[in-house]
Amino acid sequence: MDTEQIHTSRSRIIVVSLLIIGIILLIVLLSMFWGDADEDGNNTDSFFGILFNNERTPADNDPLRGGVIIGDDTKGEEEEITLYLISKDPVVGASLSSDGTRVRYFKQAGGNLFEASFTGENETRISNVTIPGILDVTWTPSKTYAIISFYTDGEMRRLYSRYTGTSTVSSAFLPSNIQAITSSMVEDMIAYTSTSNGETALFTARPDNTAIKKVFTLPAPDFEVLWPTSSTLVLKQKSSSYASSFLFTLNPSSKLLTRVLSDKPGLDVLWYPGGTDFLYMDTEREGTRASLHASSLKENTFADMPFFTLPEKCAWAPASDDTLFCAIPESLPKGANLPDEWWQGVISFNDSLWRINTTTGERQQILPPRQFDGINLFLSKDESFLFFTNKKDGSLWGLRLPPAA
């Protein structure tokens, strides 16, 4: 090989090496200035995103590592609020674990039950039963039993599953003719309506459907059931902005049926567990005008709320029957028929999160309006975290709560 060939070969090697180095530098620069390492659809995790965006990931030495810190200057001075994305995958039936130290949830894709820390870390699958197509999950107070509703072969089916520790102990189908079902808010029992031979009856039972008791014969099959105290069952006709509904309480021992509310279009209710207080909405003009109210059967009080949201976008504080946490829509679409169009997915909201005292009417905003349509709100036992599911995509979030104002 002559000198000229050697020189040409070396030149090619140098050119190729420089080209490779240039490509590597380009990739590094793109990652720094226009990166999306967390694949969340934005570049807030890039160099520029971290530098100029007010949403940022905490540093490794931050005790809140794993969350997204949001600056809130709505009160004239910046406050830091920390959100945690617990599950990006769509979930259903999110709740506290049985010991109250973790969050558990079913993932819709496979129907398995998972648990994670309040900040979304250390996710663990704890069930060996796969249930695709889950629509709804009702947990008993101990979080030991789950009543799971799902579609299979074109029909609604329900089963109970019992969980202990990190495994499924037992699981079995419940009767196929159940119309509506709920769990007691104070003990591991269930109540359900069932239609047979043209008659709809109300039953109570253990979660595994043993110790069944027929409590009452209903005049129609379209009643939903709540069980807030051992001596009070609540019956409500299915809601619609186009039809009036009635609300009754029933004592399962004495069979005393008491009418609480009547002729309320769009009636929806959130009852305080173990008490007599409840939140309800009703509507006028086929749902285009909606209002929210707080009431107490024991105190015989009634109050209009100075804001509107759907009761199912709220949660009672664990230790207080006059404190609510609510996802409140930033605005309501003009002419929307509530609650029907929201239930059907025709409309969606962008919510802010609030702490509310139903006695004094005082409100404290704990999260400014965002692209969240919050449902299934619940709190940690010490009220340091608020959890919710985003109806828009089924993702599960946790919010570290600031102190009460």
Per residue in 379-404, pLDDT tens? 999 999 999 999 999 999 999 998 87
Residue 241 to residue 313: CA distance in whole angstroms? 17
Alpha helix ranges (H) inside 165-314: none
- Taking residues 323-327, report their average pLDDT: 97
What SS3 class is residue 162?
strand
Mean pLDDT lowest among 68-77, 120-129, 135-144, 289-298: 68-77
- Helix, strand, or coil here: 235? strand
Instruction: Name the nearest CA neighbour of 139 among 105, 115, 101, 175.
Output: 105
pLDDT in tens, 131-150: 888 999 999 999 999 999 99
Strand partners, 54: none
Lowest mean pLDDT among 58-62, 73-77, 172-176: 58-62
Rounded average pLDDT over 5-34: 56
Q: Which residue has the higher pLDDT, 396 or 41?
A: 396
114: pLDDT strictly greater than 50: yes
The answer to whether the CB of 283 falls within 8 A of the CB of 266 is yes
* For residues 289-318, average pLDDT: 94
pLDDT(46) > 50: no
Whether 59 has a pLDDT exceeding 80, the answer reads: no
Q: Report which residue type is found at 143.
A: K
The Cβ-side half-sphere exposure at 127, using a 13 Å CA radius, reads 21
Q: How many C-beta neighbours within 10 Å does residue 235 have?
A: 22
Give residue 115's pLDDT. Answer: 95
Q: What is the pLDDT of residue 42?
A: 45
Average pLDDT over residues 54-65: 37
Stretch 356-382: mean pLDDT, rounded? 94
- What does the pLDDT read at residue 307? 93
Whether 356 and 368 have beta carbons less than 8 Å apart is answered as no
pLDDT classification of 20: cutoffs 50, 70, 90 = low
Contact call for residues 227 and 234 (beta carbons, < 8 A) = yes
What φ, ψ does residue 140 adopt, rounded to 5°? -75, 165
Q: Quickly state the pLDDT bin for 24 (edges 50, 70, 90).
A: low
Say what the pLDDT of residue 361 is.
85
Q: What's the mean per-residue pLDDT of the chain? A: 85
Q: Structure tokens of 316?
A: 């009672």
140: phi > 0 → left, psi -120 to 50 → alpha, else beta; which? beta
Taking the alpha carbons at both ends of the chain, their separation in whole angstroms is 84
Mean pLDDT confidence for 142-170: 87
Residue 172: band (very low, low, confident or very high) from pLDDT cuts 50, 70, 90: very high
Residue 47 pLDDT level (bands cut at 50, 70, 90): very low
Say whether pLDDT at 6 is over 60: no
Residue 305 pLDDT level (bands cut at 50, 70, 90): very high
Paired with 200 in beta bridges are: 195, 218
* Distances from the Cα of 309 to the Cα of 49, 94, 294, angstroms: 34, 21, 12
For residue 198, pLDDT over 60 is answered with yes
Amino acid letter at 399? L
**Taking the domain 281-405, which CATH number applies?**
2.130.10.10
Q: Three-state secondary structure along 295-331?
A: EECCCCEEEECCCCCCHHHEEECCCCCCEEEEEEECC
- SS3 label, residue 28: helix
- The single residue listed with the structure tokens 């186009």 is 242
Please give the average per-residue pLDDT across 197-222, as a whole number: 94
The closest of 401, 393, 364, 353 to 92, measured between CA atoms, is 393
What percentage of the chain reaches a pLDDT higher than 90?
Answer: 65
* Average pLDDT score over residue span 177-190: 96
pLDDT tops 90 at residue 339: yes
In the predicted model, is pLDDT for residue 40 greater than 50? no
Alpha-carbon span 51 to 372, nearest angstrom: 25
CA distance 153 to 162: 24
The backbone torsions φ and ψ at residue 319, rounded to the nearest 5 degrees and listed phi first, read -115, 15
Cis peptide, bond prior to residue 207, ω within 30 of zero: no
Comparing CA positions, the residue from 159, 161, 165 lying closest to residue 178 is 159
Total residues found in the chain within this entry? 405
